A and B are shown apart, each in its own frame.
Chain A
């Protein structure tokens, strides 16, 4: 299945944003895979469908692809 992917730089603010996305998925009972790139430079969120609690969370610092 095709996955939607968000990749963002691994720093404290993005960690907080990722946590909110993680908890939002948990609340909705939706699957979400969380991993880190090599050298831990980026946080990578993957899901069949990504739910973002607040669209303003995602700015130019994060790259998203897929649905």
Chain B
């Protein structure tokens, strides 16, 4: 947090806060802002991937599979029958 942000934060805290509570208020605001940063960092793609990995895996597997089919052609269809075979 740079000087400008600290100044903005101090100005944003209500003026009627008693001086002995000011320190607590500043800490509360800083922690709240940190949480916001963490939330925005986890936002979007990373959030889906890490918080809902099953859904992310389902969504990713279709284009991966399609891509492999496109480059491997008919060989792609034989992968499983080559792996899974009784004795």
Partners in one complex: no
